Amino acid sequence: MKRPIVISLLVLLLIVVFPSVTVQARIKKTTVKNVIHYELDKIQLQGIEVQDFQSLLHFAPYEQKDCKVKLKAQSQLINEQYHICLVLNLENPKYDLGSGYIKLKKTSTGKHDYYTLFPVLAHYNVDPLMQWVGTEENAWGIKYPSTWQSTCYEGESKYEFRFLLTLADFEDLVAGEELELLIFLNHSTLYYQIKNLSELRELKQKVMAVAKQPVPTNNAPAYSLEIFNSAEQLFRLLAQNIYTPELAGLLAKLGRKDVIYLENFRSYYYKEKGISFTIANTGEIVNIGLHNTNIPDEYQPYQGELPGGVTFADERRAAEAKLGPPSGFQPEKPGRFYAGYQGFMINYSNLYIKDGELTEHGDYAISSVILSLNTPAPAQILAPVDTQEYISLLGQSIKEPKTQSFLKGLGPGKVSSGGKYTYYFYPQRDAYLKVDTATSVIHTLWFRPKALGFQPYRGNFEGEIWLLDTRRSVEEKLGEPTDWGNSDSGAFWAKYRTGAKIHYQYLSASNRYNPVTAIEFSLEDETPAQPGAYLLNLLGKKSDSPEVGAFLGSLYNYSVLEHSQVTVLFTNLALGVSSGLNGIELTFTGREAPQISGITLRRHYFTGSLPGGITFNHERESIWGKLGKPVDSFGSENPVDDFLIGTKFHLSVVYYTPKDSPGKLFPDRINIYQVKDE
């Protein structure tokens, strides 16, 4: 009677201990042209239940709970350096997957490092529709790509992505206590814990055993942690290769990091040290960032010495007093811009995080300093120009000896005749005059304050106005504008009590961080802008044109679309950009140089002016009265009228019938596009 009990205990014992038996790793070895490769054909994943915030932000007809995920790892030799290629397969038998981005989350001693991966190759079984690449950014203002698709459809979809990791990064990842795969898809976020870390570590050991590790030379510089104490010492690391043992060991001493892979380089962010490195795929350090963000338990500011004696306590005006004028400016978005100096750039910001709080400055604060070998030459030293004396030329004859003497100090000029007016342009100063051809009287003058030798704009107000000062800062000095509008490029301008017409970088009439680009004084009254002219002016413009830059900078959370990455990721010829808050959708076409081919405006959100003076509150008959008879009409329930605007543009109106106005038709959306050449 006791034997069955013994057998039962033995069976129970086997059941209990069996899971602890070591399973042989599924690592395959192959040799191709005398090169050894290893592959782990299946990385074991276990789903993690999390609160999906993304599904709360996007109205979705479904979730990605039916998505099947498969991950494997294989070695790959690139430029004689071994890498690990992660191959991710996604399959949903019911719905289109849309698009997204991928992260790996490493946990060690309770702290997390994140690796954001960029696909070097992506295969789709169907061409994704309406996909675009936007940008996310971390608290340092560092951008990285995220892809989204505005519409999802029913139907099976299969994707394959390939992500490259350097061997050093792979070694760092598998050294963690836990490793998770985060898949951010349309309307859903999938979290998986990677269970077989021991197999990944074995793969790492096998690959490292055959990898050619660089050997230190006697000429290799000896680095210590003291090199991080000042920008002057950090310059020595630029163009150095992180694959050298000396440098790899040095960076490892900086502690935890986040890593973002992009198409041609990757970036390492040591948040607790306030230092970042951007590294080319071949291993050379391209630039080094020194950052001023302070978020408790997350980001710490750089504690070392900055170039030229500046400190993070210096605002823009104090920094320029120490460094002199920059050799160039690069507006990045309202409230933020880069100033270039030889060997480094300063990232200025009106808004930055200090002690965990969003802080606002009257002047720009230093957000970060970027050390780089690829920076502008020193600024050309130009003789100062008295801005007030320049403004006093308005209404004077350009032939006056005093005027001629002053203009001679602006450098060589270029003259062009435009019939009623003659234009004088001074390229060294980026300044111009518009002169009445018949009377020689200066009617308009234009300049950039506190740039190219011009002094700041001063007047009967407290303080002074510089190039790239924000609109909020300007109106603290000059009060509310007396008139405003948009230039031909779409950028916003405002006129003030002093007579100054100040031009701003972006289209937005409401954003208070829109930066100053120029100041104009004129004897002429403003010509009323044609309704919707700035929209028509966008059509046919390339994605990198000033017009598109001004428009997107105002509408699109001030992010720049990475069109080159769109073609890499999705291989499509058209992409859509929608801005729900503004009710605008732009369509870009062209692979190499995308340009705007169509604009869609939606009644629920769009409040700007429309071509022909129509509005979304006009009935169909009123629209006919303003635009004339349509060249084509079709549809019954939601009829469509197609109008010709001038000779270059089509305007198509799609109507709807409001529930409270039966029998009446009002615009639901308006499409604008160019007339195609025959």
Phi, psi of 624 (to 5 degrees): -60, -40
> How confident is the model over 2-12, as pLDDT tens digits?
333 333 332 32
**Shared-domain flag, residues 472 and 518:** yes
3-state secondary structure of 365: strand
Smallest CA-to-CA distance from 570 within 164, 133, 185 is with: 133
**Shared-domain flag, residues 264 and 300:** yes
**Shared-domain flag, residues 97 and 194:** yes
**Shared-domain flag, residues 282 and 346:** yes
Q: How far apart are CA 215 and CA 277, in angstroms?
A: 23
Q: Which region among 72-86, 151-165, 356-370, 454-468 has the lowest average model confidence (pLDDT)?
A: 151-165
302, 337, 372 — which closes off a domain?
372
Enumerate long-range contacts of 544-550, CB under 8 Å, 24 or more apart. 544/593, 546/489, 546/491, 547/489, 547/490, 548/596, 550/489, 550/490, 550/491, 550/505, 550/506, 550/507
Asked whether residue 135 is assigned to any structural domain, the reply reads: yes
167, 183, 210 — which closes off a domain?
210
Give the residue-averaged pLDDT of 608-636. 91
Q: How far apart are CA 581 and CA 307, in angstroms?
A: 41
What pLDDT is stored for residue 60 in this prediction? 40
> How confident is the model over 449-484, as pLDDT tens digits?
999 899 999 999 999 999 999 999 999 999 999 998
Asked whether residue 8 is assigned to any structural domain, the reply reads: no
Query: Quick one: what percent of the chain has pLDDT higher than 70?
Result: 76
Select the highest-mean-pLDDT range: 79-83, 147-151, 214-218.
Answer: 79-83
Above 80 in pLDDT, residue 144?
no
Above 90 in pLDDT, residue 265?
no
**Shared-domain flag, residues 229 and 204:** no
What are the distances in angstroms from CA 311 to CA 283, 292, 493, 552?
A: 30, 10, 34, 33
**Shared-domain flag, residues 230 and 184:** no
Above 70 in pLDDT, residue 437?
yes
**Shared-domain flag, residues 77 and 159:** yes
Q: Which region among 259-273, 402-416, 520-534, 578-592 has the lowest average model confidence (pLDDT)?
A: 578-592
Asked whether residue 239 is assigned to any structural domain, the reply reads: yes
Structural domain count, the chain: 4
Asked whether residue 11 is assigned to any structural domain, the reply reads: no
Q: Which of the four pLDDT bands, split at 50, 70 and 90, describes residue 362?
A: confident
Instruction: Tell me which of 1 and 612 has the higher pLDDT.
Output: 612
Say if CB 645 and CB 627 are below 8 A apart.
yes
Asked whether residue 288 is assigned to any structural domain, the reply reads: yes
**Shared-domain flag, residues 364 and 456:** no
Q: What is the DSSP letter of 380?
A: P
Q: Which of the four pLDDT bands, split at 50, 70 and 90, describes residue 18?
A: very low
**Shared-domain flag, residues 355 and 278:** yes
What pLDDT is stored for residue 81 in this prediction? 82
Q: How far apart are CA 660 and CA 504, in angstroms?
A: 42
What pLDDT is stored for residue 571 in this prediction? 21
Give the residue-averaged pLDDT of 496-509. 89
What pLDDT is stored for residue 61 in this prediction? 40
Asked whether residue 546 is assigned to any structural domain, the reply reads: no
Radius of gyration, CA atoms only, the chain: 30
Residue reference for tokens 């209990």: 16
**Shared-domain flag, residues 367 and 456:** no
Asked whether residue 482 is assigned to any structural domain, the reply reads: yes
> How confident is the model over 543-581, as pLDDT tens digits?
777 777 767 655 534 333 333 332 222 222 333 444 444
522, 547, 581 — which closes off a domain?
522
> How confident is the model over 635-653, as pLDDT tens digits?
888 899 999 988 889 999 9
Above 80 in pLDDT, residue 20?
no
What pLDDT is stored for residue 290 in this prediction? 95
Edge-to-edge strand ranges of the sheet holding 81-92: 27-32, 35-40, 68-78, 81-92, 157-166, 119-124
Q: Measured in whole angstroms, how far is the alpha carbon of residue 62 from the centre of its chain? A: 29
Give the residue-averaged pLDDT of 165-175. 90
Q: How far apart are CA 663 and CA 65, in angstroms?
A: 44
Above 70 in pLDDT, residue 327?
yes
3-state secondary structure of 385: strand
What pLDDT is stored for residue 143 in this prediction? 55
Above 70 in pLDDT, residue 628?
yes
What are the distances in angstroms from CA 372 to CA 144, 247, 319?
A: 19, 18, 19
What pLDDT is stored for residue 202 in this prediction? 94
Phi, psi of 557 (to 5 degrees): 55, 25
DSSP string of 260-271? EE-SSEEEEEET
pLDDT averaged over every residue in the chain: 79
Phi, psi of 202 (to 5 degrees): -65, -40
Q: How far apart are CA 182 and CA 194, in angstroms?
A: 11
Q: Which domain holds residue 296?
A: 225-372
Q: Which region among 51-60, 101-110, 407-416, 631-640 has the lowest average model confidence (pLDDT)?
A: 51-60
Single-letter residue type at 284: E
Give the residue-averaged pLDDT of 49-73. 61
Instruction: Tell me which of 7 and 161 has the higher pLDDT.
Output: 161
Above 70 in pLDDT, residue 99?
no
Above 50 in pLDDT, residue 21?
no
Single-letter residue type at 192: Y
Q: Which of the four pLDDT bands, split at 50, 70 and 90, describes residue 19?
A: very low
Q: How far apart are CA 481 and CA 43, in angstroms?
A: 62
Tokens representing residue 666 in the block:
């009002």
* Cβ neighbours for 7, distance < 8 A, ≥ 6 positions apart: none
Asked whether residue 399 is assigned to any structural domain, the reply reads: yes
3-state secondary structure of 29: strand
Above 90 in pLDDT, residue 250?
no
What pLDDT is stored for residue 56 in this prediction? 37
Q: How far apart are CA 403 and CA 414, in angstroms?
A: 16
> How confident is the model over 189-226, as pLDDT tens digits?
788 999 989 999 999 999 999 886 554 444 545 678 89
**Shared-domain flag, residues 325 and 234:** yes
Above 60 in pLDDT, residue 354?
no
Convert 501-516 to b/e letters by CB count within 10 Å (16 or more is b).
bbbbbbbbbebebbbb
**Shared-domain flag, residues 251 and 276:** yes
Q: How far apart are CA 200 and CA 140, in angstroms?
A: 32
